[in-house]
Structure 1
């Protein structure tokens, strides 16, 4: 089995983006993403919350439109105000992190998604591995950028009010 480990970072508020998102709005977006993942990541078709504990740990099932599997059961934990961890039954882990650049200003706010995908059918240093790495990099970039854009739209239409 091969693990594919990678991260992708994007500016939350690049020049000209409106509205400018605050850390509180992005955190509220990540909380919504826990329960409605399909609104943020195009490859996710549906998300069903199965259980939520008093301390905020959510167990959910997501179904994928495309990808290495058609569905995943995940345990999701938020670590306010900085990140959310998603752990799947097969050991795959994903972390969504809000971070600040050196200035600490809103135009220096960043979102990073880190992935540890378990891919049992791959062999390292194979042609298929290189092809999958490229595909996973595209998925990571798409997930970060679509999530930020979804948050911006949700602030505009009032789903995120922070």
Structure 2
């Protein structure tokens, strides 16, 4: 079994960004992402909310064939307003989406603890690690871009 622990951070409001996003807008975007993950993460094909109770969402996510860490996952999702959202999958994989402030402005970090029981150490694992690094970078940047588009078109105020 191979475990990958990765993190990627991107600026939310680089100098060329318009409109400039606020923490409440980013938080609203992450709340939408909990329920409609496929709008934010290109490797996700569908997201079905199974239960939404007391701030805890249980959902079933299907990944595009060959694009995700596996074909599907059940997740328990908890939000910790206004700083982060936790996604815990049934295989022990854990993902956290973090909004943080810095001297350079607002940042978005995604942390991944991938548990991959089907993979063994070696060349195949090294190749997968590089794919997962690219996927994590794209997931952060894509989510920020989608939130910005939703603010532009009025879905997020």
TM range (shorter): over 0.9
Provide TM-score, normalisation by structure 1: 0.93
1:116 equivalent in structure 2: 113
1:31 equivalent in structure 2: 31
Q: Which shifted more, 94-103 or 139-148?
A: 94-103
1:6-29 Cα offsets, whole Å, 9 max, x none, are 000000001111010001100000
Quick one: distance in 2 between partners of 1:79 and 1:111?
14
Matched, 1:61 2:60: yes
Quick one: distance in 2 between partners of 1:67 and 1:49?
19
Deviant stretches of 4+, over 4 Å: none
2:132 equivalent in structure 1: 136
Shift of 1:2: 1.5
Shift of 1:69: 1.2
Please give the residue correspondences for 1:56-135 in structure 2 after superposition, counting only pairs within 5 Å. Answer: 56-65=55-64, 66-102=67-103, 108-124=105-121, 126-135=122-131
Q: Which shifted more, 60-69 or 43-52?
A: 60-69
Shift of 1:102: 2.4
The answer for unaligned runs of 5 or more in structure 2 is: none
Shift of 1:122: 2.2
Q: CA RMSD in A?
A: 0.9
Shift of 1:99: 0.2
The answer for unaligned runs of 5 or more in structure 1 is: none
Matched, 1:154 2:116: no
